[in-house]
């Protein structure tokens, strides 16, 4: 079924009796050419591009819960491609270009809103770093504008400009950045993959790998053994736990990250704003809620819930940046499990087990990467070679010292 304005009108006039389930609920087959573990954004996008771009339809996505129940439905919905390093920038810009055509491509309203992402700076040194990053973006053909204090004031007059400790000195703006409705991304990819023959198997947890003579033959699941020619793992915060079942220890730690939504307010924020003197980022949803977040909780955990000290820290960041946020009531908050890599950049690579591939280490930033990650992982699973924008995302960069450390902070997951 194709979705369109005409279809909405027709269904409205005929009692909404014509809508069909957006994807099937098939029984697992005994064998697939390719099995993707993880029904988050990355796993579903991988399946979608495998079917659509690489012509692979005998594919299953195995999800232990329900699709969209992981980080893809828990993030603060920010998309951008404002990176400094060559290993990252072409990949995230590839993703941004895919976002820009995604709704037409998968025929689903994902509410892609390019309202701009503004990173604020509060010191001269920080402005220099932003100038460098903006120039690197422009060298890669990406939009970037350096704003002075007055430029920021014109966009967001409600910010605390005169703070004695952290005056706003300007900001780096990526006008094409913005927000995307996160759960719609999971649903759109799921529907598009299902339409092309992919089986989406929910409530199907992978409990082990069948590996014979160094070759992965399939996976043990709560719905029985499923054979596979190729297995791709895209389980985000569960990466360490799942890959341990194949005998691997990853350069990844799992941490909790929380997100917050205030009560609905009149339209206020022009786009996404990030605070440069603390860790605080905020946007406003179409319903009017301020959607914001900050640092990870700072201890390893697989629990999808956070703790109060970080709530206090995040709210203090918000108060310091825009004091009037203190009058808004907090409506909801939740946590997700982050797969924090040691250099803050992801991994999309083969493993030492033949036929077993890995996608993970997305840290705070994997939502914006969803389309490119899916495409690049599908490329790797279908062709056995890395996509041109993802050649740096290899396991062996940690052994060779070829880190892609965007912030230059070293092997400190909590600082990336
Ligand atoms: C609070 C928060 C805010 C964030 N904000 C942003 C942001 O603004 N912008 C941005 O770019 N990124 C953001 N991120 C990061 C981003 O959401 C993640 O990096 C990204 O969603 C991870 O990829 P995914 O969608 O595939 O993960 P998930 O949706 O977590 O998918 C992984 C899936 O694997 C499944 N799984 C796990 N183990 C198994 C198993 N054994 N068998 C079968 N299935 C299994 C899980 O149930 C899950 O559904 C944020 C994350 C959080 C938590």
Q: What is the pLDDT at residue 410?
A: 86
Mean pLDDT lowest among 23-37, 262-276, 328-342, 400-414: 400-414
Mean pLDDT, rounded, for 355-374:
97
Residue 65 predicted with pLDDT over 90: yes
Residue 416 predicted with pLDDT over 90: no
Residue to mutate, 47, 62, 68, 71, ligand 1, most ligand atoms under 8 Å from C-beta: 71
Q: What is the pLDDT at residue 298?
A: 87
Q: Which of 236, 248, 249 is nearest to 348 (CA)?
A: 236
Q: What is the pLDDT at residue 414?
A: 78
| Cα 185 to ligand 1 centroid, rounded to whole Å | 12
Model pLDDT for residues 277-307, shown as the tens digit of each residue: 999 999 999 999 999 999 999 899 999 999 9
Shortest-distance atom of ligand 1 to CA 242: 41
Q: What is the pLDDT at residue 143?
A: 97
Residue 411 predicted with pLDDT over 90: no
Q: What is the pLDDT at residue 31?
A: 98
Q: Which of 416, 136, 181, 139 is nearest to 283 (CA)?
A: 181
- Position 218 confidence tier, pLDDT thresholds 50, 70, 90: very high
Model pLDDT for residues 302-358, shown as the tens digit of each residue: 999 999 999 999 999 999 999 999 999 999 999 999 999 999 999 999 999 999 999
Q: What is the pLDDT at residue 131?
A: 97
Residue 78 CB less than 6 A away from ligand 1:
yes
Q: Which domains does the chain have, with CATH numbers?
A: 21-104+182-252+343-415 (3.50.50.60)
Mean pLDDT, rounded, for 120-136:
97
Q: What is the pLDDT at residue 175?
A: 98
Percent of the chain scoring above 90 in pLDDT: 95
Model pLDDT for residues 224-266, shown as the tens digit of each residue: 999 999 999 999 999 999 999 999 999 999 999 999 999 999 9
Shortest-distance atom of ligand 1 to CA 62: 43
Q: What is the pLDDT at residue 162?
A: 87
Q: What is the pLDDT at residue 409?
A: 87
Residue to mutate, 28, 35, 40, 43, ligand 1, most ligand atoms under 8 Å from C-beta: 40
Q: What is the pLDDT at residue 40?
A: 98
Residue 376 predicted with pLDDT over 90: yes
> pTM for the whole thing?
0.97
Mean pLDDT, rounded, for 113-135:
97
Q: What gap in Å lies between CA 312 and CA 260, rounded to an integer?
A: 12
Model pLDDT for residues 70-115, shown as the tens digit of each residue: 999 999 999 999 999 999 999 999 999 999 999 999 999 999 999 9
Mean pLDDT, rounded, for 135-140:
97
Residue 362 CB less than 6 A away from ligand 1:
yes
| Cα 122 to ligand 1 centroid, rounded to whole Å | 31
Residue 199: exposure state from Cβ atoms within 10 A (0-12, 13-18, ≥19): buried
Residue 152 CB less than 6 A away from ligand 1:
no
């Amino acid at each position: 079924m194709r979705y369109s304005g005409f279809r909405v009108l027709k269904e409205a006039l005929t009692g909404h009796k014509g809508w069909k389930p957006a994807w099937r609920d098939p029984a697992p087959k005994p064998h697939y050419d390719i099995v993707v573990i993880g029904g988050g954004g990355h796993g579903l996008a991988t399946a979608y591009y495998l079917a659509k771009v690489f012509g692979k339809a005998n594919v299953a996505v195995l999800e232990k819960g329900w699709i969209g129940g992981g980080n893809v439905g828990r993030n603060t919905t920010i998309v951008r491609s404002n990176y400094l390093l060559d290993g990252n920038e072409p990949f995230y810009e590839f993703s941004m270009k895919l976002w820009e055509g995604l709704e037409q491509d998968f025929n689903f309203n994902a509410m892609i809103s390019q309202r701009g992402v503004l990173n604020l700076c509060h010191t001269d040194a920080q402005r220099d770093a932003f100038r460098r990053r903006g120039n690197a973006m422009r060298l890669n053909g990406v939009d970037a504008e350096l704003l002075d204090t007055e430029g920021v004031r014109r966009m967001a007059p409600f910010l605390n400009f005169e703070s004695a400790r952290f005056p706003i000195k300007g900001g780096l703006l990526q006008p094409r950045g913005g927000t995307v409705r996160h759960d719609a991304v999971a649903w759109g990819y799921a529907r598009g993959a299902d339409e092309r023959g992919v089986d989406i198997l929910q409530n199907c947890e992978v409990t082990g790998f069948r590996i014979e003579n160094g070759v992965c033959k399939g996976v043990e699941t709560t719905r029985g053994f499923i054979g596979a020619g190729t297995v791709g793992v895209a389980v985000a915060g569960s990466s360490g736990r799942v890959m341990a079942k194949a005998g691997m220890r990853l350069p990844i730690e799992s941490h909790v990250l929380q997100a917050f939504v205030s009560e609905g307010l009149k339209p206020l924020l022009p786009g996404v704003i990030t605070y440069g003197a603390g860790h605080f980022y905020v946007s406003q949803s179409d319903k009017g809620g301020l959607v914001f977040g900050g640092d990870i909780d700072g201890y390893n955990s697989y629990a999808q819930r956070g703790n109060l000290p970080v709530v206090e820290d995040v709210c203090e960041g918000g108060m310091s940046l825009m004091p009037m946020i203190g009058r808004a009531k907090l409506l909801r908050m939740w946590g997700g499990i982050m797969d924090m890599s040691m250099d803050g950049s992801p991994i999309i690579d083969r493993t030492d087990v033949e036929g077993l591939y890995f996608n993970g280490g997305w840290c705070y930033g994997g939502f914006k990467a969803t389309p490119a990650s899916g495409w690049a992982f599908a490329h790797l699973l279908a062709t056995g070679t890395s996509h041109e924008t993802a050649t740096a995302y290899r396991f062996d960069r940690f052994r060779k010292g070829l880190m892609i450390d965007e912030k230059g902070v070293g092997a400190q997951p909590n600082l990336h």
